Amino acid sequence: MQLQKELQDKVDIPVTRKSLWSSLFGKMDVRAYTMVGALVLIWVLFGFLNPTFLTSRNLSNLFTQMSVTSILAIGMVLVIVAGHIDLSVGSIVGLTGGIAAILSNWLELPAIVVILGTLAAGAVLGLLQGWLVAYKMIPAFIVTLGGMMVFRGVLMGVTESMTIPVSDPVLALLGNAYFAQGFGIIIGLLAVGMLLWTAYNKRRSRQKYGFEIAPLGVDVMKVSALALLVVSFVVVMNNYKGIPFPIIFVIVLAIIFYILTTKTTFGRHIYAIGGNIEAARLSGINIKKKTMLIFVLSGLLASIASIVLTSRLASATITAGNMAEMDAIAACVIGGTSLMGGAGTVIGALIGALVMTSLDNGMSLMGLESFWQYVVKGSILVIAVWLDISNRSKGVK
Amino acid sequence: MKHVLEMVDISKEFPGVKALDHVNFKVKQGEIHALCGENGAGKSTLMKVLSGLYPAGTYSGEIVIGGESKQFHKITDAEKAGIAIIHQELALVKDMTVGENIFLGAEPCKRGVIQWDELYHNASVWLKKVGLNISPDVKIGNLGIGQQQLVEIAKALSKHTKILILDEPTAALTESEVSILMGILNQLRSEGVSCVYISHKMPEVFALADSITVLRDGRTVATLDRNETDDDKVVSLMVGRELTERYPRVEHTPGEIVLKVSQYNVWHPEKRNQRMIRDINFSLRKGEILGIAGLMGAGRTELVSSIFGAYGGKAEGEVQIEGKTVKIKSVAEAIKAGIALVTEDRKRQGLVMGMDVKRNTTMATMGKVSKLGFINENEEIKWGRQYVQDLKTKTASLETLVGTLSGGNQQKVVIGKWLMSDPKILIMDEPTRGIDVGAKYEIYNLMNRLVDQGVAIIMISSELPEVLGMSDRILVMCEGEFVKEFQWREATQENIMLAATGGK
């Protein structure tokens, strides 16, 4: 019988058949690639229009500027991938910043206690909202919209609408200091070492399992490209004052959350929940617990962002973090995160944040009035999604 | 008597399937005409053609109403011709009042302003007509399903409907509600309204209908006069296809009991008094395939998902696995206890379409490929590759998104996911729905192989030949109860269908 014969044919499945391009750059979706292109274009354009844009000094400022949005965007990716939204992060930045200032200035507690207290506050606010979303089934949009108003209100109440200065020298360092040049070089070397080690380990492990391994040349190119990126970053930063503290936070958090989203079961479950909640439930995934945890992480990241922001401004104000959630959401979306859930990457969100900050920075360098920043950023957001959707519908046909 | 409706030579194709094949269907003035057939026989498709949901041009054939050939391009065209359809899922707005719902989209207006007094007055006239003694300003959400159905009928009548189509109207009704509905339909008949009554419940069909048309595999098999036939005859027409040797029947030797379910009851998750499953008792032996047959809505899916810990409603009764009583409250516990459920709808419940083959495969058993929460990508590739090879899934690579695979290969990914959990009890709900013959055959072979390895399989299927061809034992379910048990040798399509339709 023909069926039988067909059944006996052995099927051979290649595990991976990656193009050179995707083996070099890993898995990033089309929108993120487009945005890398757009980013280069923006940089070239501003560099051409205003020579100061590409100076070490300005780039250093630019990276410091993007730190708050980036940290929030990292948390927002998780929330959006799981199919929710968190509108409260801007207000959590404000409120936990106020708490930090109160602990430091009014209660005169040491910096370490201030930091831990602030982080705990952020996590608790996230926990509260996550519980309402996960266990009480209130839509995240409503819970966090409420949170956005409530937290801002509480901030105004406890600070009596005053600006509270923060003068603790340790706290001031977190947002404003630079790593000494020599230390920067060490960090750079460590990073390159890590890249080599990971690549080597991956090859060895695949060998052990008897899987085909990518040609050595591809891996060498990949590692060299990333190493070049690391080295030029360190060189450019060292050319000014060294690597700014806040950007180190961003990089460390990005690495942690990159691993969390791509290498852990928790991350996988989040993508499954956002991709098809019913299939996730019927695969035995504890949806409620994971959903709550996502909001805890989002709150925690917002409080880290608030420490950076408070330190940079050397004070807590009642408008701190206002509208920051919108920048974070926009950064995620520009970087390829789908508001339908199930798709999005931490790296993409960082690229999104970099695009937005570059626009801000470049336009203010050129002395354009600030209304232009809103108009341009808003348009970029819509155009990015438009391009993506029209690409995708072409693919379907 | 003349025909108010004639559907002549209607054919309709979906990609790869011929849903309707030269169907002829004629309804006389003032009669109740039952349309019978198995799940997927083409009843609903035919009615969608008639009601304009599938616009003219997407099917071939002719619709003649009152002697005039008609072409419906949208639903309102059909409504203008006097056709109204009441779907199984009622289409009422819960937060609006009865009156608002009856005149939704046809509100009496004067210069764009709704005349509320006129609306509510007219609504109460129509409500009286269907014997509903309620005020028209009650919200729909406050009514029971039976009353809502009568509101739908009132809404249809208010559009001067000449032909009323009811799709499985009694599926969600209680017995007293059913008798009220029958009374109304009898009264409408005496007023000259024709009614197409889609049902596979034989007692109802014979209590109501004047004529019966049977569809099978998209073809008209027969149109019969109620007085010249009986339920045996109709049932045999519904199922009467020839059995071909498409099933790799293998003799199994069942071992000891793995699963024993006693006095099992399940209630609806929202309507807490509605019992979905009544006093079910059964046992499952190692190395056998237990087929569960029944019609849509009989409660088969509810029963197995409740055992699997995935059904929202309250459950009562005892479940024993290998002699030990277990209380399974979540899917994770069910997996641990050795139960796996290949769900009915792979797109909605089985797979994450935007994820690749290997990630879908490992989804229910992440513990096997991770340590302390960290995924070992190579382990994942190893397992993914194993099931792709074992099940002969045709995929370009393990990184291919499952959404791009064919139905049969998607189903194999779902099965692979559950085999990876090493189940003792594998429940398969419609395991071959919507997949091609070759893949079906492979899945049947796989089931036999698993049974030989000592897995116990419960297979729910609406395809009778499949139930007959694969099961060792067959339980027939009807309205939440097991009504009959057959050994495979004594089962026939006719006696299963008769039991499933509530006949004797």
- Contact call for B355 and A275, based on CB within 8 A: yes
Chain B residues within an 8 Å CB radius of A269: 366
Average pLDDT value for residue range B435-458: 89
- Contact call for B363 and A15, based on CB within 8 A: no
Reading the block at residue B248, the tokens are 């790799």
Of A13, A205, A282, the CB nearest to B378: A205
**Residue B363: per-residue pLDDT:** 95
Average pLDDT value for residue range B408-416: 94
> Would you say B164 and B188 are in contact if contact means Cβ atoms under 8 Å apart?
yes
- Contact call for A263 and B389, based on CB within 8 A: no
Q: Which residue has the higher pLDDT, B196 or B440?
A: B196
What is the SS3 assignment for B260? Answer: strand
Cα–Cα nearest to A208, from B377, B372, B396: B377
Chain A residues within an 8 Å CB radius of B441: 3, 7
- Contact call for B378 and A15, based on CB within 8 A: no
Chain B residues within an 8 Å CB radius of A10: 389
- Contact call for A15 and B385, based on CB within 8 A: yes
Chain A residues within an 8 Å CB radius of B334: 284
Residue B145 C-alpha, separation from nearest chain A C-alpha, in angstroms: 26
Max alpha carbon distance in chain A (Å)?
86
- Contact call for B352 and A211, based on CB within 8 A: no
**Residue B375: per-residue pLDDT:** 95
Of B364, B370, B374, the CB nearest to A284: B364
Nearest CA in chain B to A2: B438
Please tell me the distance from the alpha carbon of residue B172 to that of residue B149, in angstroms, as a whole number. 10
Reading the block at residue A79, the tokens are 């929330």
**Residue A392: per-residue pLDDT:** 67
pLDDT at B342 over 60: yes
Please tell me the distance from the alpha carbon of residue B283 to that of residue B472, in angstroms, as a whole number. 13
Interface A:B, Cβ pairs < 8 A: 110
Residues of chain A below pLDDT 70: 1-32, 392-397
Nearest CA in chain A to B329: A284
Average pLDDT value for residue range B205-224: 90
**Residue B236: per-residue pLDDT:** 83
**Residue A11: per-residue pLDDT:** 44
Residue B372 C-alpha, separation from nearest chain A C-alpha, in angstroms: 9
Average pLDDT value for residue range B148-158: 90
Show the 3-state SS of B441-490: HHHHHHHHHHHHCCCEEEEECCCHHHHHHHCCEEEEEECCEEEEEEECCC
Residue A14 C-alpha, separation from nearest chain B C-alpha, in angstroms: 5
Mean pLDDT over all residues of chain B? 89
How, if at all, do strands B163-167 and A315-316 pair?
unpaired
Residues in chain B: 504
- Contact call for B354 and A342, based on CB within 8 A: yes
**Residue A8: per-residue pLDDT:** 42
Please tell me the distance from the alpha carbon of residue B35 to that of residue B49, in angstroms, as a whole number. 14
Chain B residues within an 8 Å CB radius of A272: 352, 355, 363
> Would you say B36 and B74 are in contact if contact means Cβ atoms under 8 Å apart?
no
Residue A262 C-alpha, separation from nearest chain B C-alpha, in angstroms: 9
Please tell me the distance from the alpha carbon of residue A392 to that of residue A386, in angstroms, as a whole number. 10
A5 touches chain B (CB under 8 A): no
**Residue A354: per-residue pLDDT:** 94
Question: Model-level pTM?
Answer: 0.82
Mind listing the pLDDT tens digit for each residue in B466-491? 899 999 999 999 889 999 999 999 99
- Contact call for A209 and B382, based on CB within 8 A: yes
Reading the block at residue B450, the tokens are 């698993």
Mind listing the pLDDT tens digit for each residue in B19-42? 899 999 999 988 999 998 877 788
Nearest CA in chain A to B417: A283
Average pLDDT value for residue range B305-317: 92
Burial of B489 (0-12, 13-18, 19+ CB in 10 A): exposed
**Residue B27: per-residue pLDDT:** 92
**Residue B330: per-residue pLDDT:** 93
> Would you say B375 and B407 are in contact if contact means Cβ atoms under 8 Å apart?
no
Interface probe for A, chosen from B329, B358, B363, B404 (most Cβ of A below 10 Å), is: B363
Q: What is the CA radius of gyration of chain B?
A: 25
pLDDT at B253 over 60: yes
- Contact call for B354 and A266, based on CB within 8 A: no
Of A264, A268, A278, the CB nearest to B359: A268
> Would you say B290 and B459 are in contact if contact means Cβ atoms under 8 Å apart?
yes
